[in-house]
Structure 1
């Protein structure tokens, strides 16, 4: 292969990895919140099973991307679900329900597999954005000219596949870190659920801007204005939640030391 072609492919792959890393941040918070209610040993297991399923789905998505682009209902369902778990969290907290403590062993086992299923559904909603970003970058590359995979040049396909898989690993790695952070700072939970709701808004924006829905301009989700709004709010929630949690944690430690 031509050296210039190798450099071009390598450069695009680096850009794609960086993009996947940015996309992984908010996705990982959602995953961490979804598995948080499980016992510690099952949290990583649920994320791992989700990783396996997402790996298979993203591989298939590369072949089905032209079809999936038109299925706006996937992101609409994802948005609705994220809104539901956010509202449910604050409702349950307000009512003071302690449902988790009352679950039987059998119900907790069912909860584990239900959680894995929810992680898979969320992965599907997130995967469409991720794969579209990968396709948009990969098609700018000069075809390697080896052979075709699913109607796509093999070189371009491999770049899309590598970027998507690296993105998945980033999400899972970050999700594990977020789970640990939520354990260390329990008061961070409310901020995490607010972020989940805000990511739901992101999926809703993608749904409303879909050509078949047409409520918002098609390119609005990619506009500078929306990205500025989304990341400003996301970072604002994160920082406010973190500083509030640390402050509350320090007060608790001070009280414990005083007593």
Structure 2
């Protein structure tokens, strides 16, 4: 039983770290959306937007709990996570970063009143949350069943992990985003690392899909096996270490000099 909760705690820790890295840019965009408002309304707009976003996220989590074990949904989620992660990696490696994205968001938000801005913040957060929610579900579905009662179509313990991850994302956007922004400035490779982890989580969800009882390509118990667990977390830790120790732009510039 202790090992069960240890695995849950470890997964939750990974999820919170991933949420933090993914929320850094999201928080900046949310701040830009409210930038046109008077100073005394900016903070309120973001706070109200986050409250609305919490309701939206919980509704999304509640809905997904009933369909998380449907293999078609799992397959779509796996494909989306793989697409999202690989797209960002390829863009970071070969593409050019869109430096005007914040200006475009600001121009689009300019002129909107207080409540329309609040609504835009909430909807923007929900759009940003899709990747983290799917990643949370993928990580949770790979966990062994807990002794808790089911919620919707998910094991109760797995659902709690997803909910805590969703709440953590909003808390990090509100309170810790600045720290993560600074961290990404110091170690810019971590942003690509986060999306590499998203893609790897997509692989995990694909494995879960292939082991679904209605598919049967893989053994039903394989996603919970020791072998796959070691492979998954081994690769995940390797990705994280590579991202952490990757050379920064400053160090590369020094090498050129």
Q: TM-score band (shorter)?
A: 0.5 to 0.7
1:20 counterpart residue number: 12
1:120 counterpart residue number: 129
Structure 2 residue 176 is matched with structure 1 residue 198: no
Name which of 138, 158, 174 aligns with 1:129.
138
Unaligned residue ranges in structure 2 (runs of 5+): 35-42, 111-116
CA distance in 1, matches of 2:192, 2:25: 11
TM-score (norm 1): 0.62
CA drift of 1:79 comes to 2.2
CA drift of 1:233 comes to 2.0
Q: Is the 8 A contact 1:131 1:160 kept in 2?
A: yes
The 5-angstrom pairing of residues 85-164 of structure 1 reads: 85-88=88-91, 91-93=95-97, 98-100=99-101, 102-103=103-104, 105-108=106-109, 115-133=124-142, 136-138=144-146, 141=147, 150=152, 157=156, 159-164=157-162
CA distance in 1, matches of 2:244, 2:53: 25
TM-score (norm 2): 0.62
The 5-angstrom pairing of residues 182-221 of structure 1 reads: 182-184=180-182, 187-188=185-186, 190-209=188-207, 210-211=209-210, 212=215, 219=223
Give the 3 Å change call, closer, same or farther, for CA 170–35 of structure 1 in structure 2. Answer: closer
Q: Which has the larger radius of gyration?
A: 1
Structure 2 residue 227 is matched with structure 1 residue 224: no
Name which of 164, 167, 175 aligns with 1:166.
164
Q: Does the residue aligned with 2:74 lie in a helix, a strand or coil?
A: coil
Please tell me the root mean square deviation across aligned C-alpha atoms, in Å.
4.5
Runs of 4 or more off by more than 6 Å in structure 1?
10-14, 245-248
CA distance in 2, matches of 1:216, 1:67: 17
2:240 counterpart residue number: 234
Q: Does the residue aligned with 1:92 lie in a helix, a strand or coil?
A: coil
